[in-house]
Amino acid sequence: MFVDQVKIYVKGGDGGNGAVSFRREKYVPLGGPAGGDGGRGADVVFVVDEGLRTLVDFRYQRHFKAPRGEHGRNKGQHGAGAEDMVVRVPPGTTVIDDDTKEVIADLVEHGQRAVIAKGGRGGRGNMRFANPSNPAPHISENGEPGQERYITMELKLIADVGLVGYPSVGKSTLLSSVTGARPKIAAYHFTTLSPNLGVVELGEQSFVMADLPGLIEGAHEGVGLGHQFLRHVERTRLIVHVIDMAGVDGRDPYEDYLQINRELKLYNLKLEDRPQIVVANKMDVPEAQENLQRFKEKLPDIQVYEISAATRQGLQELMYAIGEMLATLPEKLAVEEVAEVEERVVFRAEKEPDAFEIHRENEIFVVSGDKIEKLVRMTNLNSYDAAQRFAKMMRSMGVDDALRKHGAKDGDTVRIGKLEFDFVE
């Protein structure tokens, strides 16, 4: 089964919680705080494995949650960091954030790695909070939550040569005639429902050829097999445009040529400049010569290679022409642009540059924002000292003043993440 697009959920491991502990040893009076930090949560890391050719495994496992770090312990012992979760993907995989539609990673080379969901840092133990004014703090942090997101994975087949054209023009027959591939071949449209790969051997030179599902008008908008086909063309170094010159289905070969190139251009402007070889197939049919003559009259500057994939006529000349052109082309194509910085700011408090937003849900004031919600999750609210520290940080971030400006009164309910509390002026 060939699967080239799938949506999955990934989550980095949470950091381990910091510990609250005090040194208690004979002959060591007032030993002081000795709670260790929590360990770092594991990252979810995608690694390219050239032995994979499809995303079918991700249809059966759609959730990837990395392990969390160990909690801190007494005697100043820090928790161990978790080992990263390594997920192997085929070359040509593009990873896209499902919410923002930003490209997270474009993985094309064997061994290439990308962190898809970062693990959280470990929470600090109480020994980190000791200071002259509070030498015995009962404060520790919970581990930072790991990053979580839904992602879409698209596999764009990596091949040297991509065969394009209308359905039933003979692409699969051509592939089977020049390689060891054995795609399904039948006398009806869309016989090829998924890409087929084959290796062409030309003495010391060899290249990978892909037979891709047929195009029809409107393919750039997803009509027919549309996007399932077109995404794979982006990775090919050379396009071999196969035309049914005999017009077996009653179509005009010239119009077929224009329409296919129009679909490629509308899908991605870069494909308009991709090197292309035009192949006139089915030249063993009597009507083909007459159609070819008209085709050349309309496009006199384009070299057309005449073949019959069924009888193997002209195939050797075509393969050597493809090999010669590939030798002049760069080995690698430009990959997708990956966003380096991800920043979303909704509202900034006046006193501090920490983004948060305030809105009302009936009688409840809801405060939302990455930093403030992370602060809630990392605060051990069972500790009085930690709760006091949280209140102080809210004031320093300007949350209290912003709530007053939005009309919050003494005793009103405020919600931050899953925490609800009464507002005190």
For the chain, domain boundaries:
1-156, 161-328, 357-423
Say whether 194 counts as a known binding-site residue.
Answer: yes
- Which CATH code, of 3.30.70.20, 3.40.640.10, 1.10.3720.10, 2.70.210.12, is assigned to 1-156? 2.70.210.12
Average pLDDT over residues 239-254: 86
Say whether 146 counts as a known binding-site residue.
Answer: no
Say whether 396 counts as a known binding-site residue.
Answer: no
Q: What are φ and ψ of residue 52, in 5° steps? A: -95, 145
- Confidence class for position 407, pLDDT limits 50, 70, 90: confident
Check residue 51 and give its pLDDT. Answer: 84
Kindly report the average pLDDT of the chain as a whole number.
82
Say whether 308 counts as a known binding-site residue.
Answer: yes
Say whether 165 counts as a known binding-site residue.
Answer: yes
Say whether 191 counts as a known binding-site residue.
Answer: yes
CB-CB contact of 416 with 393 (8 Å):
no
Say whether 168 counts as a known binding-site residue.
Answer: yes
Check residue 354 and give its pLDDT. Answer: 59
Q: What is the CATH code for 357-423?
A: 3.30.300.350
Q: Is the pLDDT of residue 161 over 90?
A: no
pLDDT digit string, tens, across residues 312-351? 889 889 899 988 898 888 876 555 555 443 333 333 344 3
Say whether 203 counts as a known binding-site residue.
Answer: no
CB-CB contact of 16 with 36 (8 Å):
no
Say whether 192 counts as a known binding-site residue.
Answer: yes
On the CB side of 107, how many CA atoms lie within 13 Å of its CA?
29
Say whether 258 counts as a known binding-site residue.
Answer: no
Say whether 383 counts as a known binding-site residue.
Answer: no
- Confidence class for position 43, pLDDT limits 50, 70, 90: very high
Q: Is the pLDDT of residue 194 over 70?
A: no
Check residue 144 and give its pLDDT. Answer: 92
Average pLDDT over residues 404-420: 88
Say whether 171 counts as a known binding-site residue.
Answer: yes
- Confidence class for position 222, pLDDT limits 50, 70, 90: very low
Q: Is the pLDDT of residue 160 over 60?
A: yes
| Residues whose CB falls within 8 Å of the CB of residue 131, separated by 6 or more in sequence, listed in order | 137
Number of H helices, E strands in the chain: 8, 18
CB-CB contact of 72 with 36 (8 Å):
yes
CB-CB contact of 95 with 108 (8 Å):
no
Tokens of 379: 């605060």
Say whether 196 counts as a known binding-site residue.
Answer: no
Most confident stretch, 28-37, 69-78, 189-198: 69-78
The lowest-confidence range among 181-195, 222-236, 393-407 is 181-195
Say whether 169 counts as a known binding-site residue.
Answer: yes
**pTM reported for the whole predicted model:** 0.68
Check residue 383 and give its pLDDT. Answer: 85
Say whether 170 counts as a known binding-site residue.
Answer: yes
Distances (CA, A) of 326 to 7, 198, 275: 34, 16, 9
Say whether 69 counts as a known binding-site residue.
Answer: no
- Four-residue CA torsion sign, 45, 51, 57, 58: positive
Say whether 309 counts as a known binding-site residue.
Answer: yes
Q: What is the DSSP secondary structure assignment for residue 157, as one 8-state letter?
A: -
CB-CB contact of 82 with 27 (8 Å):
no
Say whether 119 counts as a known binding-site residue.
Answer: no
Check residue 147 and give its pLDDT. Answer: 93
CATH fold of 161-328 reads: Rossmann fold (3.40.50)
Pick from 299, 233, 314, 303: nearest CA to 269: 233
* C-alpha to C-alpha distance for 299 and 15, rounded to whole angstroms: 65
Say whether 284 counts as a known binding-site residue.
Answer: yes
SS3 16: coil
Say whether 167 counts as a known binding-site residue.
Answer: yes
pLDDT digit string, tens, across residues 110-136? 899 999 999 999 999 999 999 888 888
Say whether 278 counts as a known binding-site residue.
Answer: no
- Confidence class for position 309, pLDDT limits 50, 70, 90: confident
| Residues whose CB falls within 8 Å of the CB of residue 303, separated by 6 or more in sequence, listed in order | 277, 278
What are the strands of the beta sheet with 5-11, ordered from one edge? 63-65, 5-11, 148-155, 93-97, 103-107
Say whether 43 counts as a known binding-site residue.
Answer: no
